[in-house]
Amino acid sequence: MDTKLVTETDQVLREIAEPWDFTVDGDPSTLIKNMAKVMIENNGIGLAAPQVGVKKRIFIMGNETKLYACINPEITEGSGEVMDLEGCLSSPNLWLNVKRHETIKVKYYNALGQEIITEFNGIMARVYQHERDHLDGVCFDTRVGKLSLEMAKKRRKKKLRKSLY
Ligand SMILES: [Zn+2]
């Protein structure tokens, strides 16, 4: 199956993904490799399985040299709040100011099925929270106020119009 981004309006982006069961679903490394290809081709720093039409609780984040694969990821604790601009590969050219925890404690399984308990902060904490949301069918546009979303969409339209010339 070809791994590619679903469109912004695809229902899979609004649905709750199912846990990855290593004994039933097997080795996730092919999926992860295909997702990494899509993420890197699109200059992303995070990608969740539903974004490529796979309704499973898997996301990746990072880059070619340091890639995290987070399976059945949880956030066990969050602290601090920070507002910053966020984009999403499922919503091209839409940039929103989203409030996230600055530091998070997390638990997930890696591609080998090993349980990882660790902490992220800064940009990686932001990406983790954004991608983790995707697994619950939550897109970043529901994390901002209606007015700021409308304004961001107007800005996007203007930008798209400009790029036509
Ligand atoms: Zn996203």
Looking at per-residue pLDDT, the higher value among 37 and 157 belongs to 37
- Residue 57: phi, psi to the nearest 5? -85, 75
CA 163–ligand 1 middle distance (angstroms): 23
CA 48–ligand 1 middle distance (angstroms): 7
CA 132–ligand 1 middle distance (angstroms): 9
pLDDT tens per residue, range 30-39: 999 999 999 9
Catalytic residues: 131
Q: Compute the mean pLDDT over every residue in the chain, rounded to the nearest whole number.
A: 95
What residues form DSSP beta bridges with 81?
Answer: 101
CA 114–ligand 1 middle distance (angstroms): 25
State residue 55's pLDDT score: 98
Residue 8 has pLDDT above 80, yes or no: yes
CA 113–ligand 1 middle distance (angstroms): 24
Band of pLDDT at residue 165, cut at 50, 70 and 90:
low
State residue 97's pLDDT score: 95
State residue 1's pLDDT score: 66
The helices-and-strands tally (H runs, E runs) of the chain is 4, 5
- Could you give the strand order of the β-sheet that contains 91-109, starting from the edge strand earlier in sequence? 46-48, 58-62, 67-88, 91-109, 115-121
Q: Supply the pTM of this predicted model.
A: 0.95
pLDDT tens per residue, range 97-121: 999 999 999 999 999 999 999 999 9
